[in-house]
Amino acid sequence: MAQQNTNDALFKSAHSALVFAFHFSGQAYDRPAMNKLAAPSLGSGKGLSGLDGAGQAGMIRSKVRGLGPRMEAALIARCAPASMPCECRSPCCGGWKTNREWFDAITELTDYVRKPLAGSAVNGLMRSLYVQRFFAAKGKRSTIDEIAERCYINRQTAGIHYSKVSKVLTDLESQSGQMIEIVLRDAGLLEM
């Protein structure tokens, strides 16, 4: 079955494969749209069936997991949605819930950035906000000023913290990106 999947749909890049895999699990996303995302290079007659899409998402996820928790977290934090549609219909619900998978990745990385911040007066909330800023989509990124204000520290201090966090996360992300590219290419999931 895995064999068959590799022939069915090729991704243009490791990034698009990851975006597909980490959105697919959110079952609230409609299947035809996900299948379109799965096989961008193929003509309309050859899209994946829902089952193939799920199998392929599972395969990509297991490759990501194989890189170990740090690299997995860096890839998920970048490619998974932070929130997903919620259909609980409770009156207090805004129709969206935090994506547990994204949240766990942020938690892992919040721990990872203890090291570059060793010796600074930072708490878990601050570390988490720096990590979230690093991975947030451009329009949703908190500013250094907002983080400083929320944590009652001065702007300059927050800026220094963030640059340390940004440096180690940039390195980790670049390493993770190179590794997953090799692994997915090796599995025959990427276009030549």
Q: What is each CA distance from 98 to 38, 95, 174, in whole angstroms?
A: 24, 11, 26
Question: Binding of Zn ion at residue 151 (CB under 5 A)?
Answer: no
For the bound state, the minimum distance from the C-beta of residue 3 to Zn ion, rounded and expressed in Å, comes to 40
Residues linked to residue 83 through DSSP beta bridges, in sequence order: 98
- Residues 30-69, one symbol each (x = binds Zn ion by CB under 5 A, - = not), give ----------------------------------------
d(CA 84, CA 86): 6
Question: Binding of Zn ion at residue 93 (CB under 5 A)?
Answer: yes
Residue in 82, 86, 151, 153 binding Zn ion, rule: CB under 5 A: 86
Intra-chain end-to-end CA distance of the chain, in Å: 21
Question: Binding of Zn ion at residue 88 (CB under 5 A)?
Answer: yes
Q: Which is nearer to Zn ion, 101 or 181 (CB)?
A: 101
Query: Which residue do the tokens 């570390």 mark?
Result: 127
CA neighbor of 111 nearest in space, from 163, 81, 73: 73
Residue facing Zn ion at closest CB distance: 93
Q: Give the residues lining the site for Zn ion (CB under 5 A).
A: 86, 88, 93
